[in-house]
Structure 1
Amino acid sequence: MLYYLFRFLEQFSISGAHIWGYISFRSLLAMILSLVISAWFGEKFIRFLKRKQITEVQRDKSIDPFGVNKIGVPSMGGIIIIVAILVPVLLLGRLRNVYLLLMIATTVWLGFLGGMDDFIKIFRHNKEGLKGKYKIVGQVGLGLIVGLVLWASPDVKINENLTVKRENRTEMVVKHRSQARKSLKTTIPFVKGHNLDYSRLTAFMGPYKTAAGWILFVVMTIVVVTAVSNGANLNDGMDGMCAGNSAIIGVVLGILAYVSSHVQFAAYLNIMYIPGSQELVVFFCAFIGALIGFLWYNAYPAQVFMGDTGSLTIGGIIAVGAIIIHKELLLPILCGIFFVESLSVILQVYYYKLGKRHGVKQRIFKRTPIHDNFRTQDSQLDPDCRYVFRKPKGAVHESKITIRFWIVTIILAALTIITLKIR
């Protein structure tokens, strides 16, 4: 809103109005504003949650080897994150931008879905929350909408990167097509040219390969949104864990969105140029600021939990943002922590059921998701169960586990950016 106001005032030569046209100014302002909102609104909202007794009812000292009782800590703190993202974005973003509208829709959609889950857990005293099938339907529905919009919208176009040889020279130079057009290409790591065209995977369809490619893209969007949002949800098990990891991931996505929207940087990195994606920089700066402000209250010992309201929303934002800038195939590296958390649960369940068929009680890890494996005491283990991995002996404090997971995410974030030059 403010963007349009000051762009209007610029016509009358109002001093300083032109600065609102700079993406760097609006992005940094969005980060500062979201951080302030998250910290200021967070304090008031936590008091409100305590008055209304909207508090955690599941976590107690029996599952914490250090005896920390977390019953009574306010939950649904994800609302703080959502508000701190949406307010700066609505004020400072270009609301006619299709990419920004998709990110806003994602935030509201998954915020509502996660809020319903938290509502059932807290107010209906049902620890299972919203049934899993309804969560999946909500996530699949969002992925379907995002995929179809990116397919159908005339504003969603890219300038493909092309490697050509200079005349009378041996070196290659990267140029972009002069006209933006619809494309099924996405960035793939460690491959020369960096691009994978979905329609190449459906080449066997002959004249229908492009249509089949778009269908494959929509299916891929659904899978990515569902997987990353569930991964973030599983990662939200320790104070500051999910918020810290997601802020680091948000920094990388903001950088990738910026270089994708800058034709010179896109050429230097040999990636596609995506007109209009600069508005995602504003969004991700607000995203980072909101998470950092939330950490003020969520760092150990937590004064508030984000709940599924926050974790599902965070995962969806990361997934949709990566899909928009055609970097979804980098997510297994960038969101490696989320991937491992999900994989640990899948493997644990499969291995346990496999043993059950043969009358054997067995598990791979002491507890899953994987971060819980590190804070589980040996005395808490089932003596009748066989464990493949019993390390570490004893329990690691959750604040140390959280910091170590942040460090791993920083390494993965750096590796993700490096992949743009390793090919």
Structure 2
Amino acid sequence: MLYNFLYPLHTDYSWLNVFRYITFRTIMAAVTAFAIMVIAAPYFINWLKKKQIGQVVRQDGPESHFSKQGVPTMGGVLILFAMTLSSLLWTDLTNGLVWLLMGISLFFGLIGSVDDLKKIRKGNSRGLTAREKLLLQVFGASMVGLYLIVHPEYDGALSLPFFKGIRPDLGWWYIPFAVMIIVGASNAVNLTDGLDGLAAGPVIITGAVYLIFSYVAGNAVVSGYLQIPFVQGAGEVAVFCGTLVGACLGFLWFNAYPAQIFMGDAGSLSLGGTVGAVAIITKQEILLAIVGGIFVMEALSVILQVGYFKISGGKRIFLMAPFHHHFEKKGWVEPKVVIRFWIISVILGLIALATLKLR
């Protein structure tokens, strides 16, 4: 909004020329989203307490989590508000990719919000059924895949990290592939969101890495030099990623141990779906498995645990799944698990950035 209203005036006021720079608007978008979170969160937390919108703790979880019962949840609603408002202020609103990302983040946030509210009303950990949730996620993700595959500047070719000359073309099969990436990322972040600050940290790192890739992909000269796919308009995706990073940093201020608020499914499903959509839009789909390795590990731990439990007649690979609970059962205190997972996420983010040159 600021870009669309103020930049046209740069011919009369030269200082407004700063709005043409994606780097400036990305920084300001992140700062704005962070400020919104820090200012609004205390009021939002108090409102949630008055409405008794609190966390419902599963009874089969670690005993140390029982104290989290009733802590305000659905902080994802505020994250989405900060992201959306900052995006409206700092992005070029004529860019369709920005609207696509805002749409998918809000749609997945709506799914998560309904799920959260059902859990709170029932007073247990059961919200939407797995079938209901999956069908809604697949529908939303399909819209992203369909939008991109019919767009004249997109194709079904994949970009493989470390391999510059190999780009397999999936054609129309790219749509179910996009659905798998977005839905998989959404549910993986949801599974990771089990400790104070555990999901927010890796989401910030993932968002920051894709911010860089978005900026590079949107610059024809730089993308050509680094031999990654050029994506028309991807520069504005970098600004959107700035809002994601800023909003999650602001949320982490209150979600750090001991958490004053949880993001709930409203946050985890929407943030996961958003980073999945960003990966698709920037044509760096496979890279998400590297930079989001923590999410992959958490999801795989659940799949392996459930599968092995069934075929072995009740035996387990981990003491408890998702993976972070395994370390809690081994005696690690919650902050140690979180910080070490963050460290791994930083290392994976650096490896992902290294693929810019290692091609």
With normalisation by structure 2, the TM-score equals 0.96
Change (3 A) 1:127 1:403: same
Alignment of 1:76-95 (within 5 A): 76-95=74-93
For this pair of structures, how many residues does the alignment match? Answer: 359
Q: More deviation in 83-92 or 261-270?
A: 261-270
Alignment of 1:42-81 (within 5 A): 42-58=41-57, 63-64=61-62, 66=64, 69-81=67-79
Change (3 A) 1:123 1:266: same
Aligned partner of 1:198 among 161, 169, 179: 169
1:1-29 Cα shifts (integer Å, max 9, x gaps): 11111023234x02422211111111111
CA contact (8 A) 2:205 2:346 kept: yes
Alignment of 1:21-40 (within 5 A): 21-40=20-39
CA contact (8 A) 1:65 1:375 kept: no
CA contact (8 A) 1:229 1:311 kept: yes
Q: Secondary structure at the match of 1:75?
A: coil
Alignment of 1:12-411 (within 5 A): 13-58=12-57, 63-64=61-62, 66=64, 69-154=67-152, 157=153, 182-193=154-165, 195-199=166-170, 213=171, 215-356=172-313, 361-376=314-329, 394-411=330-347
Distance 2:173 2:273 in 1: 19
- How far did residue 192 of structure 1 move? 3.7
Q: Identify the structure with the greater strand proportion.
A: 1
CA contact (8 A) 1:38 1:294 kept: yes
1:324-351 Cα shifts (integer Å, max 9, x gaps): 0100011111111111111111111111
CA contact (8 A) 2:58 2:124 kept: no
CA contact (8 A) 2:58 2:125 kept: no
Change (3 A) 1:64 1:353: closer
Q: Which amino acid aligns with 1:227?
A: G
Q: Which amino acid aligns with 1:105?
A: G
1:216-249 Cα shifts (integer Å, max 9, x gaps): 1001001111111000000000000000110000
Distance 1:218 1:67 in 2: 39
Structure 2 residue runs without a partner (length 5+): none
Change (3 A) 1:421 1:228: same
CA contact (8 A) 1:55 1:73 kept: yes
Q: Which residue of 2 is the match for residue 208 of structure 1?
A: none
1:127-173 Cα shifts (integer Å, max 9, x gaps): 2111111111111111110011112234xx2xxxxxxxxxxxxxxxx
Q: Secondary structure at the match of 2:53?
A: coil
Max radius of gyration: which structure?
1
- How far did residue 274 of structure 1 move? 1.4
Q: Which amino acid aligns with 1:417?
A: L
Distance 1:122 1:101 in 2: 31
Q: Secondary structure at the match of 1:72?
A: coil
The percent of aligned pairs where both chains have the same amino acid is 39
- How far did residue 197 of structure 1 move? 2.9
CA contact (8 A) 1:65 1:395 kept: no
CA contact (8 A) 1:333 1:416 kept: yes
1:38-60 Cα shifts (integer Å, max 9, x gaps): 11111110010001111113257
Q: Secondary structure at the match of 2:127?
A: coil
Distance 2:58 2:49 in 1: 16
Q: Secondary structure at the match of 1:362?
A: coil
